[in-house]
A and B are shown apart, each in its own frame.
Chain A
Amino acid sequence: MAGDGRRGVILAIGSGINVPLTLLIALVKGVLLLVVLLTTAAYLVLAERKVSARIQLRIGPNRVGPGGFLQPAADAVKLIFKEAAAPEGRDRLLFELAPGLAAAMALFAFATIPINQTICINGRGGAGPLSAACPGGLALHWDLAHLNIGLLFILAITSIGVYAIFIGGWASNSKYALLGALRSSAQLISYEMAVSFAVIGPVLLSGSLDLERVVGAQHGLWFVFLQPLAFLLYLTAGLAETNRLPFDLPEAEGELGAGYHTEMAGMRFGMYFVGEYVNMVTVAAIATTLFLGGWMAPLFFLPNWLGPIWFAAKVGLLIFVMLWIRWTYPRLRYDRLMQFGWKVLLPLGLANIVVTAVFVALR
């Protein structure tokens, strides 16, 4: 996203008519976000295959395009043209709805994540870190919807994602899918707690649910250094939230076929797949925002106006760690998974909140 070019375009349209311009900007941002996220998800699949190949001393996909660069396109074409077989006795409406819901909620959750500081156009406000206010000018927020309770919104939306999984498993009229969905709901609800507790640390420190403010509060010192435990908790629970190894019990292929999406073929499966990988990006993006200083340059001498680049790099790093973990660890047993969530992550999260709250109160 070239900030300068965009600024020129917007200036040409003019600054007087605010409402249509805001709409137009929202539309452009939405389309851009959609394109970028979907492309990222597609290439994440490639990245996953490449990383797994290298870990296993292989090369990975390298036949479609140079170095396998066009593999995602081939995968997409295959998924689209595949026969969408569906089981007898399914709930027809919910069966069609669930994959869409999964993909939609994953994309939706990204709406409030800022990937750069707000830029004030034609206003008197500077491009400072806490420059949410832009009197007289047009504040260009680098998220789709600027909410002052952005974090809460994300937690709410990701919780709806559970419905997609459960509905899909239930509507399939298949024992594997249903068992996968049951496990999935139990797991996601359990780890939702851990996620929520982990994010309360940064929220307490920054005193806001506005993600832009949370990032701003990390100026000079990222929260990962103040809240290392919360970061680890969040990352661990985030893996569980995205159904990834070592917590991929909902789709444990050795036991359940493919879990909740066993009966999904073609683009139905594709939607779940997209949703899952977009969720990965979301989890990494939230972790970046809450703990790694969001768009801020990693080192003080690096230019801060490259915000989106820094953001993307941090997200990319986190995603790589997630891939790396996936291809390193074996799957947990189900009872261990639940035990870990409730008896380890939750108490640790609580303890972290108490300590942080005392710290904030004493400060």
Chain B
Amino acid sequence: MFRELIGGLRITMQAMLRKPLTIQYPEEQRPVPPRARGRHILHRYDNGLEKCIGCELCSGACPVGCIYVLPAANDPAHPVSPGERFAERYEINLMRCIYCGYCAEACPTEAITLGPRLDLADYKRERLVATKADLLEAWPGFRPPGGAAGGGPR
């Protein structure tokens, strides 16, 4: 019996002498794995046009129904996306999202992917409904028509 008791104490003593594994989270952060599924990103083409065409396949594929898309027809003079259709409103309820990535899988233009951002806590529910302006990739050279935020909610 004593052998076992001493053995247990030895193991804990060894652990005590080892370097702690703690990562001091807000200051130091573990690198996010390349395929981690964090908050969504809406991508643009190199010319600044949105990849999203408002087809709603992401919202159709979403198992929890957290994606709302309201499509509209592109103005040929000032297109938001290539082709006839774009997403006038694009909202994701990040509280309801389960980060399964089906939306990215369903997307025919690879417009939406799940990005590396994982720290999504907030004090206001409203701020956890991500709008298109929140999700869209920044594109410095893009001048949106009419001065609206890059194709954001109108």
Contact = CB atoms under 8 A, between A and B. Distances in A.
| Contact, chains A and B (beta carbon distance below 8 A) | yes
Interface of A: 51, 53-59, 324-325, 327-329
A324 B9 CA distance: 7
B20 A329 contact: no
B20 A327 contact: no
B13 A57 contact: no
B9 A59 contact: no
Contact of B21 (A57, A324, A325, A328): A57
B35 interface: no
Contacts of A57: 15, 18-22
A328 B20 contact: no
Contacts of A324: 9, 12-13, 16
B5 A329 contact: yes
A191 B8 CA distance: 24
Interface of B: 5, 8-9, 11-13, 15-16, 18-22, 24
Contacts, number: 33
A71 to B, nearest CB: 16
A54 B15 contact: yes
A51 B16 contact: yes
Nearest to B23: A59
Nearest to A50: B16
B9 A54 contact: no
11 contacts: A53-B20, A54-B15, A55-B12, A55-B15, A55-B16, A57-B19, A57-B20, A57-B21, A324-B12, A324-B16, A327-B12
Contacts of B19: 57
A329 B21 CA distance: 22
Given A328-B8, A329-B8, A59 B13 contact: no
B75 to A, nearest CB: 54
Contacts of B12: 55, 324, 327-328
A54 B5 CA distance: 19
Nearest to B5: A329
B20 A54 contact: yes
A58 B20 contact: yes
Q: Which of B11, B12, B15, B20 has the most CB of A within 10 A?
A: B12
A58 B11 CA distance: 15
A56 B15 contact: yes
A56 B14 CA distance: 11
A57 B8 CA distance: 16
A9 B138 CA distance: 74
B9 A325 contact: yes
Given A54-B20, A57-B19, 17 more contacts: A51-B16, A53-B20, A54-B15, A54-B16, A55-B12, A55-B15, A55-B16, A56-B15, A57-B18, A57-B20, A57-B21, A58-B20, A324-B12, A324-B13, A324-B16, A325-B9, A328-B11
Contacts of A58: 20-22
B9 A328 contact: yes
Closest 4 CB pairs of A and B: A328-B12, A59-B22, A54-B16, A57-B21
Contacts of A51: 16
